[in-house]
Amino acid sequence: MPAGRIRCGIVGCGPVFNWGWMHGQWLHAVPEMELVALCDRDPAALGRTLPEFPGVEGYTDLAEMLKRDDLDMVSVVTPHNTHADLVIQCLQAGKHTVVEKPMCLTIPEADAMIEAARAAGRTLAVFHNRRHDGNVRAIHELVKQGTLGEVFHIEVCAMGYSQDPNYGRPGDPWRASKAISGGGLYDWGAHAVDWVLSMVPSPMTHVTGFFHRFHDAASNEDHTRAIIHFANGCAAEICCSRAALIGKPYLWYVLGTKGAILDTGANAIVGYCNEVNGPSGGSLTLRTLEGERTVPYKESDWATYYKDMADHLLRGAPVPVSGEDGRRVITVLQTAEKSSASGHSEPVPHQ
Ligand SMILES: NC(=O)c1ccc[n+]([C@@H]2O[C@H](COP(=O)([O-])OP(=O)(O)OC[C@H]3O[C@@H](n4cnc5c(N)ncnc54)[C@H](O)[C@@H]3O)[C@@H](O)[C@H]2O)c1
């Protein structure tokens, strides 16, 4: 790694969330990161985004971009079914690689990506940057401080990012396709599973899943529910739905032996998709044996992810979210589907 500077490329700058552009903003916020190359196989997508980054070289073929010897790191920002192949291609070209969530579709794909990183001697990191949402930071901090005692029950409900019912709405074309997205739990569910796994200090034992598909408009399931069983006795339930005629608020409900959290205000997370960081926008309810109080969210510091990545690559700090961490998320998503089909709780191959 060149001293003090990481030269970065992005692959994927699609229209749905303008997400390659957003990665460029986050990279730009870290002085030790420099965006030098941008790739999208769709010339229109590339042509829209490239002018936002003067001096950055554009490519429609990833293999051409990877020929650059001066490229240190690539961020893969493409649809879910492409992640495994593109990440392995980047690693085999000797580039440290960051991949958007979810890491991939299946556990064997995750295994192959981790092995490719090991063989290349390069870092594989998964972009679970929503750990830095203000409400998630506040909840994680309260749990880590021990304010709740031992946490034994968690519910995260992501029925949509608003209280509006999402009944029957299939979502944008590739997110509604099971072959491309992985299924109804792979988008918001990937965030929610990562939040829970990074909060509970215990291995998983089993996953139980309940999947339902009612509408032909999309091949994804309409309603997905996963329950993660942990070795310490904690159980966490995650629900994503487009089949709820009454939608629940986007919800966190956490019970511990000394306290409880109810958070229904995450719509107040402002700035995501446009801003590098976001102000503290809301609050949650905390009840302990001493009484009930309102706890303001922390600021959302999404730029932290690439700062942590720079610390890792330049100074040997831990990987912000390792391939193994990303594989635990995929393990839950895939095992939940297996359990739904079998009608039983299923053991997890990666705890
Ligand atoms: N972390 C978050 O909060 C967050 C938010 C939005 C999107 N995402 C993730 O970002 C990823 C991309 O989502 P999106 O909404 O930007 O999708 P998108 O469809 O808008 O863009 C994807 C782009 O990838 C390009 N592409 C596909 N295969 C390619 C290849 N082989 N070589 C070069 N370019 C290729 C397509 O042409 C397209 O322009 C997904 O994993 C999604 O879940 C994460």
In a domain, 27, yes or no: yes
Per-residue pLDDT of the chain (351 residues; tens, 9 = 90+): 556 799 999 999 999 899 999 999 999 999 999 999 999 999 999 999 999 999 999 999 999 999 999 999 999 999 999 999 999 999 999 999 999 999 999 999 999 999 999 999 999 999 999 999 999 999 999 999 999 999 999 999 987 543 445 565 656 778 889 999 999 999 999 999 999 999 999 999 999 999 999 877 789 998 999 999 999 999 999 999 888 877 788 899 999 999 999 999 877 787 888 888 888 889 999 999 999 999 999 999 999 999 999 999 999 999 999 999 999 999 999 999 999 999 999 999 999
Same domain, residue pair 96 and 150: no
**Residue 206 shares a structural domain with residue 280:** yes
- Tally of domains within the chain: 2
41 plus 190 within the same structural domain: no
- Residue whose CA is closest, atom 29 of ligand 1? 41
Question: Closest by alpha carbon to 324, among 17, 113, 70, 136?
Answer: 113
Tell me whether residue 208 is in a domain.
Answer: yes
- Pocket flag, ligand 1, residue 16 (CB < 6 Å): yes
On whether the pTM is more than 0.75, the answer is yes
Asked whether residue 326 is assigned to any structural domain, the reply reads no
Q: Is the CB of 40 under 6 A from ligand 1?
A: yes
Asked if residue 155 and residue 93 are part of one domain, the reply reads no
Give the domain CATH number at 111.
Answer: 3.40.50.720
81 lines ligand 1 (CB under 6 A): no
Q: Read off the tokens for 255.
A: 């019970």
Q: Which residues constitute the domain of residue 146? A: 131-301+331-347
The gap from C-alpha 201 to its chain's centroid, in whole angstroms, comes to: 19
User: Do 98 and 215 have their domain in common?
Assistant: no
Side-chain half-sphere exposure of 231, counting CA atoms within 13 A: 8
- Is the shortest distance between the CB of 82 and ligand 1 below 6 Å? yes
- Kindly state whether residues 85 and 143 are assigned to the same domain: no
**Domain-embedded: residue 154:** yes
Say yes or no: 114 and 147 in one domain.
no
Is there a single domain that holds both residue 178 and residue 77?
A: no
